[in-house]
Amino acid sequence: MLDQVTAAFARQDYETASQLLRELVKQSPHDPWVKLYLARLQEVNGKVKAAEEIYRQLLQSSTNSKLISQARQGLQRLATLAKERRQQAIAQATAEPGSQAPGFLILEAVTGEARSELAKRFAQLLNTDAYTARGLLPSRGWRLYRAGLMGELAVFGQELRKAGIPAFWAAIADLQSIQVFQVNYVQALQPKAAVVCQNQANQVGMLSFEWSEVQQRVEGLLPLFSQVVDLGYRDRLEWKEHIEDYAHIWDLHLPARRCILRLQDGKYDFRQGITAQREHDTVRQRWNELVSVLNQSIPPGPVQADFTIFSESTSDFVTAIERLPSHLFLSRSSDCYLDSAFHLYSCLSLLKLSSSA
């Protein structure tokens, strides 16, 4: 009867093939050739996942070289079909308004028992092995995975979500539209908060707000480098960058105003405002005191403090990241892309908070 099934497939008579296979499944449910033809029937009927699962099972369990070859051919056909569909979806998506705008695609953390299964699905999307895919899936925080055109990112992002892999994407234009106010000092805590700050045009003014408007905060540490002399190759003196300290950054998010209030320990004026400078205090002591006071006023809410984890995935995207002005002013001999990476992390956090509200 298998010869009849083969002949039915050869003349593309899938109805006859289906009838014959129903009988064969009853008679020999574990026959690998029956399973192969069953996978081919699922394939022509558009049941891609079912066909792929059978093909992969045959590759793992079969020792027949001819059958293995046909199972591999089946998987290749499915991969080609998926690629063609993705290209069609990208072509359609890139015709939409705004699809040519640059943006970023972010992977969110995958934990627990689901991680192994999701790694397999991710591997199938990437056409790679599960071990490699598992290494790309973050177990904590976020991973900057791709930078590109929004149309393409949206298509791939939707495929990820369909596979159960948490991801989101954002256009650079949306990130740039978020206002950033550099807080010089906090003037008052009650009855409303009042801060003296600078806008992006370096204009100084007073901004007043209710503490309930602060829906999230983002914390980060950014390295401060200094040039030091060190012994290099054959004991030659070389100038090298050395991390001397870390700048502490606090971003308060006011999503209703679509703005960020940025506090930076090295730019904050401790001589004024709610925590006046005392001579014996160090900058770190003053900063810790300020944080303690603010924590008593800021309502409970999300705290995004995984910037260091996120930053580890950004080194391959320096050119794209630096399209974003960092709105940070750190004392360094040269600029560092991590400043823009932190600003990206904070803006992504604000957009995600706004989209989930």
| DSSP per position, 202-260 | --EEEEEE-GGG--EEEEEEEEEEEEEEEE-GGG-EEEEEEEEEEEEEEEEEEGGGTEE
* Both tokens assigned to 196: 């003296």
Q: What is the pLDDT of residue 227?
A: 58
Q: What is the pLDDT of residue 302?
A: 93
CB atoms within 10 A of CB 223: 17
Residue 343 has pLDDT above 90, yes or no: yes
Domain limits, the chain: 2-92, 95-172, 178-356
Q: What is the pLDDT of residue 212?
A: 95
Residue 143 has pLDDT above 70, yes or no: yes
Q: What is the pLDDT of residue 166?
A: 96
Q: Which residues contact 106 (CB under 8 A, 6 or more apart)?
A: 142, 143, 144, 145, 167, 168, 169, 170, 348
- Looking at the chain, the whole-number percentage of residues with pLDDT higher than 90 is 49
**Which one-letter DSSP state was computed for residue 317?**
G
Q: Which residue has the higher pLDDT, 88 or 357?
A: 88
Check whether domain 95-172 has CATH 3.30.1390.10, yes or no:
yes
Q: What is the pLDDT of residue 241?
A: 66
Please name the helix (run of DSSP H) or strand (run of DSSP E) that holds residue 303, with its range, or none. Answer: strand 303-304
Please name the helix (run of DSSP H) or strand (run of DSSP E) that holds residue 19, with its range, or none. Answer: helix 14-27
Residue 237 has pLDDT above 60, yes or no: no
The model's pLDDT over 295-336, given as tens digits with 9 standing for 90+, comes to 999 999 999 999 999 999 999 999 999 989 999 988 776 678
In this prediction, residues 261-265 reach a mean pLDDT of 96
The least confident of 26-35, 157-166, 233-242, 267-276 is: 233-242
Which CATH architecture is the domain 2-92 placed in? Alpha Horseshoe (1.25)
Instruction: Identify the band that residue 277 occupies on the pLDDT scale cut at 50, 70 and 90.
Output: low
Instruction: Identify the band that residue 247 occupies on the pLDDT scale cut at 50, 70 and 90.
Output: very high
Q: Average pLDDT, whole number, for the chain?
A: 87
| DSSP per position, 23-78 | HHHHH-TT-HHHHHHHHHHHHHTT-HHHHHHHHHHHHHH---HHHHHHHHHHHHHH
Q: What is the pLDDT of residue 19?
A: 83
Dihedral over Cα of 169, 329, 260, 211: its sign = positive
The residue whose two tokens read 């199972």 is 71
User: Long-range pairs for 91-100 at CB < 8 Å and ≥24 separation?
Assistant: 93/151, 93/152, 93/154, 93/155, 94/149, 94/151, 94/152, 95/151, 96/151, 98/150, 98/171, 99/149, 99/150, 99/151, 99/154, 100/149, 100/150, 100/151
- Looking at the chain, the whole-number percentage of residues with pLDDT higher than 70 is 90
Instruction: Identify the band that residue 88 occupies on the pLDDT scale cut at 50, 70 and 90.
Output: confident
In this prediction, residues 72-80 reach a mean pLDDT of 83
The least confident of 118-122, 252-256, 344-348 is: 118-122
